[in-house]
Amino acid sequence: MPEFDPEAFASLAAAMGINADAEHLEWLRAEVQATLARLVELDAIDVSDVPAEEAGLRHDGPGGAA
Amino acid sequence: MTTSSDLTGLTVAELADRIRTKQVSPVEVAQAFIARAEKLEPKIGAFVTPTQELALEAAEIAEAEIAAGNYKGPMHGIPVGVKDIYATAGTRTTSGSKVYADHVPDRDSTAVALLKQAGAYSIGKTGTVEFAFDPTGRNAHYGMPHNPWGLDRMPGGSSAGSGAGTAAGFFPVSLGTDTGGSIRIPSALCGLTGIKPTFGLTSRFGVTPLSWSMDTVGPMARSAEDAAIALNVLAGYDADDPASVRAPQVDYTTDLNGGVRGLRIGVPKEYIGDILDPEQDTAFRKALSDLEDLGASVAEISIPELAWVPALAITITGVEASTIYGELARTRRDELDPSVLRRVETAFFISGERYARALRARVLFTRRMNAAFTSVDLIATPTVATPAPPQGTERMTIGGVQTNVREALLRDTRIFNMSRMPAVAFPTGFSADGLPLSMQLAAPAFQDALALRVAHAYQQATTWHQARAEV
C-alpha cells in the first residue's frame, strides 16, 4: 500500500480539522499508515451476498432483530 | 454471627438471603461495604465519585421497605458500583473525561433506574477509560485503578473501577459496559464473573456511547449466580434505546442448576491459540476437562473467519467512535486523553466505503458463527491472552509472540461483540504470580441463560471464583 507523503498527510489532516503540531502529525501518520495496512484484508472478503442496506440494520442472529 | 468484614466477602445471593430473613439489615450491609471502601480505596482507586451518604440514605429506605413487608427481591438492599458512563440523576457522570468533569445528569440511565426499582443503590461512580475506549483501564485524567490481585497490575478496562472495586470487596456487584470486551476483560484480570449479554437485551439509554452497533450493558460479579440475579433486573425492552429487542422474558436464575450433561462445547482451532500465555492456556484446557467430567462434551471446531475480527473491530468501533467524538477531537483536543484522541483521529482516515464493507462482513461473520452453533451449544475460548500485565506496559511477548497489550486483551473478547452474542467470563485458576486466569463461554443470541448455567455448573464444582484478594 502506498505511503502517505508527510506534507500531503499534513494537508489532509488539516482538511479534516486536525490542528496539531508536527510531532503529533508524524506519530499520527505512522499510526494511520499501520492501521490502513491492517484493514486491507477486509477488501478480500466477498460481501456481495449481503445487501449494503441491510448490513447496519440486521442482527442476523436468532430473533433477527436489532 | 456475621461481622462487617464477613459481609463484604459475601455474594449477592448470600447477602440477599440474610437480608430477606432479616439476619442482617440493609444499613448494616451498606456500612460494612462503605467501611471497607474507605479503608482500602487509597490503595485501589476504584471510585471517581463515591456516593456513600446517598448509599446510606438508600439503605435506610430499603430497610424501612423490608421492615414493612415490601421485600422486592434479591437485589433489594444491595450496593452496586456504577461505571461512570451511566447517567445518574443528581450525581456527576464524567464518562472518564475532563470535558464532562462537572456534568450532572437530570435523569438516570435505564439500567440505574431498574436497579433502584429493584431496591439496589449506587455506592459510587467507578473509574472508566475515557468514553470506554481502551481495554487496559488507563485514564490520563482520573488515573488507572489498581488491580487488587497485584497493585502494580492493570485492572483491565474499560470498566476498570467496577472490576477493581468488586474484586476488592467495595461492592458485591457492579455495572460495566462491553463494546470489545470491557466487562469481560476486567472480570478476567480481577478474578470476577462478568457477562456481556446479547446485544439489544439490556438498555443503553443514558449510557455514554462508544460504538452504537455493539455497546452492551451488563453486570460484573463474584459468581455466575450473582451475574444472573443482576441480569434479571437489567434485561428487558426499552423504547428509549433504538437497539433494544423485545426478547422473551427470562428468569436467568431458573435454570442455573440444570447442569452441563449432554451439552456440546466447541473450541475454535484457529486464532485463539495464536497469541496465548501458556498458563492461561493450561488453565483453559483444565477447565474444559472439568466441564467434560461434569458431563459436557468438548470438540474442536473450525471458524477461519475469526481472522477477520481485529480488522472488523478496528473499522466499526473506530468509525462509530470518531463519528461521536470527532467534534470534540477537533475543538477540545487538549482536554482529551491522548490515547483516546489518537484513536479517534486515526479513524478519521477510514473511508465510508470500508466501514460499509465491514458492516456487511460482520453480517457474514455472524452467519458463520450461527452455523458453528448448529454443531455445538456453546463456544469456549480463553477470555484474554495474558494474566493482568504490569501497569504501563505497551508491548509484551506472549508465548514467544510480540504483540501490543491492547491486542492481547481484546483479541478473544471482541469475537462475540462482532457476532453480538452473549459471553460470560469466569475465573479458571491463578498464574504462578498469583494473578487470576479466565475463560469465556459464548452461546447463541438470546441464550444468555445457557452460558450462565454452564458457568454456574463449573463454579459449583470448583472454588476459583471464591478466592478473595488480600489487599
For B:203-232, CB contacts with A below 8 A are: 213
Q: pLDDT category, A60, cuts 50, 70, 90? A: low
What's the mean pLDDT in B419-424?
Answer: 97
Residue B5 has pLDDT above 80, yes or no: no
Mean model confidence pLDDT for chain B: 97
The residue behind cell 473501577 is: B161
Q: Residue A54 has what pLDDT?
A: 75
pLDDT-derived band at A3, boundaries 50, 70, 90: confident
Residue B161 is which amino acid? Answer: G
Å between B468 CA and nearest CA of chain A: 38
Whether B123 and B79 have beta carbons less than 8 Å apart is answered as yes
Task: Among A1-10, B390-399, B444-453, name the one with the lowest average pLDDT.
Answer: A1-10
Chain-wide mean pLDDT for chain A? 85
Question: Average of pLDDT values for B239-251?
Answer: 94
User: For residue B420, which residues of chain A lie inside 8 Å, CB to CB?
Assistant: 59, 61, 66
H runs (alpha helix) in B222-277: 224-234
CB contact under 8 A, B330 and A17: yes
Whole-complex ipTM? 0.90
**Terminus-to-terminus CA distance in chain B, angstroms?**
24
pLDDT band for A58, please (50, 70, 90 cuts).
low
Specify whether B158 is catalytic: yes
Percent of chain B with pLDDT strictly greater than 90: 99
* Segment B21-73, tens digit of pLDDT: 999 999 999 999 999 999 999 999 999 999 999 999 999 999 999 999 999 99
pLDDT of residue B18: 98
**For the sheet containing B297-301, what is the strand order?**
B47-50, B121-126, B79-83, B173-178, B216-221, B193-196, B423-430, B436-442, B378-382, B264-268, B297-301
| B358 min Cα distance to partner chain A (Å) | 7
In this prediction, residue A53 has a pLDDT band, given cuts at 50, 70 and 90, of confident
User: B254-273 pLDDT, tens per residue?
Assistant: 999 999 999 999 999 999 99
Q: Is the pLDDT of residue A64 over 60?
A: no
CB B92 within 8 Å of CB B125: yes
pLDDT tens, residue by residue, B164-202: 999 999 999 999 999 999 999 999 999 999 999 999 999
Best probe of the B interface among A26, A38, A43, A50, by most B CBs < 10 A, is A50
Q: How far apart are CA B284 and CA B307, in angstroms?
A: 21
Cα Rg, chain B, nearest whole Å: 20
DSSP string, B163-177: HHHHHHTS-SEEEEE
Inform me whether the pLDDT recorded for B423 exceeds 70: yes
pLDDT at B3: 64
Q: Take residue A16 and report the three cell numbers written for it.
A: 479534516
Find the catalytic residue in B25, B97, B182, B203. Answer: B182
